[in-house]
Structure 1
Amino acid sequence: MKRTIAALIGSAFLAAPALAGGPVTPVAEPPLEAPPVVTPAASGDWGGAYVGGQLGYADVGSKGNAVTGDGVLGGVQAGYRWDLGSTVLGVEADVSAADASFDGGAGKLDSLARVKLQAGYDMGRTLVYATGGAAYAKADVGGASLSDTGYFGGLGADYALNDRWTVGGEVLMHKFDNFDKSGIDADATTAAVKVNFRF
């Protein structure tokens, strides 16, 4: 009997560690996930001064079609832009000689000069912008040399070929009320291709 009790007590002591801890199953830790990659918005460097040239087309009309015509124009421009991140603000001045003849030999548009304000969106190598400001035109109408100041608005875009050169285009709508007190309300639509060198 004593041997049986001793055997049972010995078995209990031997089994105690197994019962206390039991087999340990390792817990697999979840794999570490890489943080999401944030792609920065495309952005170019559009700040600084520039000069360039342009070549385009002018379509001239007036209220009641008293004067209509079309032709080419070409000239030079200079400006400065401030790159504020996705927003680009700028100023520009241009002057163009024109050869836009009016129908019926009524004369022609001789020149067009503008002072522009620009507000654009930086898309990286492309800049799209709205522009507007004051325009000054000279014209020969019925043998008289006339000139007047008006206003304009339109849209443009530039593409950066590299750090220095850009190409682009603009379409602008011009209004001249009572052109040089002639009683003619004139308008002109211009479309031009532009090349600029940036400093």
Structure 2
Amino acid sequence: MIRRLMLTTSALIGMAGTAMAADVLVEPAAPAPYVSSVYDWSGLYIGINGGYAWGNVDTSTTIPAGSNINGVASALAIASGTGGFDSNGGLAGVQVGYNYQTGPYVVGVEADVDWSGLDDTRDSGIFTLGGFNARTTDDLDMNVLATVRGRLGYAMDRLLVYGTGGLAWSDATVRRNLDWSFADGCPPVGGGLQRCHVGEEDFDIGYTVGAGLEYAFTENFTAKVEYQYIDFGDEPFRTVNANIPNQPLDHEVSLDIHTIRVGLNYKFN
């Protein structure tokens, strides 16, 4: 009986050892290949954008040395020609750019051009001094706004946070009219006023800085929201009396704009 039990135990131990050896010889399954979940922002893209712009125009008038404008006219010109006004309107346009990503950092360049709806007027109202009246009107007209900018961002997979800055260009023009109640021989404009001093100044080149968020909702399509501040600086210009010689006026106009836009881009692989 004892001998039979010993033989049975030996057989069981042998079978267990064989099974363990077989388990050791079985090759483990290969791990699944690693697929990165990080979005790659590198590449060329094009897109469309739309949004809103609001800005400020500041104006001033001074009397240049040697002008023979009398004291009353000088005071009226300075009072009516100094002030400011706000302007706002829509934006719609296109953009093209290129990004390069290294690690989480994204550097790129972008250019855009937009139609602009900024078109507003300042009327100083009637200023009266010594029994004489004067009024200044300024008109801002901007149809095109364009920028060329660098971008520097930090990518968190499909979300890109970035800053931007560069050059801005526009076709903005501020036109200025100064009307007097004592400018004999100049064209009448109603209300007993006549228009002799007329001038305008263009705003071509400025600078822009801003920031934005962009999200890639597919491999090729991204959406963004972006803010920009655009400063076109101060522009001086001179007007002369069309009817009376040696009565120039010097003017200075400044223009700055804020924009907020949303955009949709298509990125080429």
Structure 2-normalised TM-score?
Answer: 0.55
> Could you list the per-position Cα deviations for residues 82-117 of structure 1 after superposition, in whole angstroms to 9, with x for gaps in the alignment?
011110000000001101122447232211110010
Residue aligning to 1:142: 175
Tell me the residue number matched to 1:165: 221
Asked whether 1:47 is paired with 2:42, we answer: yes
Instruction: Give unmatched runs, 5+ long, in structure 1.
Output: 1-40
Match of residue 140 from structure 2: 107
Structure 2 contact 201–235 (Cα < 8 Å) conserved: no
Q: Does 1:190 align with 2:259?
A: yes
Equivalent residues in 2 for 1:6-155 (5 A)? Answer: 43-63=38-58, 66-104=84-122, 106-142=139-175, 144=200, 146-155=202-211
User: How far 1:80 moved relative to its partner?
Assistant: 0.2
> 1:147·1:180 contact (CA, 8 Å) conserved in 2?
no
Query: Are the aligned partners of 1:110 and 1:140 in contact in 2 as well (CA < 8 Å)?
Result: no
Moved more, 178-187 or 43-52: 178-187
| Bigger Rg, which one | 1
- The one-letter code matched in structure 2 to 1:60 is G
Shift of 1:180: 7.4
Measure, in 2, the Cα distance between the counterparts of 1:180 and 1:117.
30
Question: Counterparts of 1:180 and 1:74 in 2: how far apart (Å)?
Answer: 30
Tell me the distance in 2 between the aligned counterparts of 1:179 and 1:47: 40
Residue 51 of structure 1 deviates from its aligned partner by 0.2
Structure-1 separation of matches of 2:236 and 2:47: 30
**CA–CA distance in structure 2, aligned partners of residues 86 and 42 of structure 1:** 13
Encode CA deviations 1:19-73: one digit per residue, 9 max, x unaligned. Answer: xxxxxxxxxxxxxxxxxxxxxx973210000000100100011346534200001
The runs of at least 4 aligned residues of structure 1 exceeding 4 Å deviation read none
Separation (CA, whole Å) in 2 of partners of 1:44 and 1:79:
18
SS in 2 for 1:66: strand
Q: How many residues align?
A: 159
Point out where structure 2 has 5 or more consecutive residues left out of the alignment: 1-35, 60-82, 123-137, 177-199, 238-250
Secondary structure (helix, strand or coil) at the match of 2:253 reads coil
Give the aligned residue type for 2:171. K
- Which whole-Å CA distance do the structure 1 matches of 2:142 and 2:236 have between them? 13
Give the conservation status (yes or no) of the 8 Å contact 1:120–1:127. yes
Equivalent residue letter for 2:266: F
**Is the Cα–Cα contact under 8 Å of residues 203 and 232 in structure 2 kept in the other structure?**
no
In structure 2, relative to structure 1, the CA distance for the partners of 1:63 and 1:147 (3 Å cut) is: closer
Question: What does residue 24 of structure 1 align with?
Answer: none
Give me the whole-angstrom Cα distance separating, in 1, the residues matched to 2:265 and 2:211.
Answer: 17
After superposition, what is the alpha-carbon deviation per residue over 1:110-155, rounded to whole angstroms, capped at 9, x for unaligned? 1111001000001111101000000001123227572310001010
Give the CA RMSD over aligned residues: 2.1
Q: Percent identity between the aligned chains?
A: 34
State the partner residue of 2:128: none
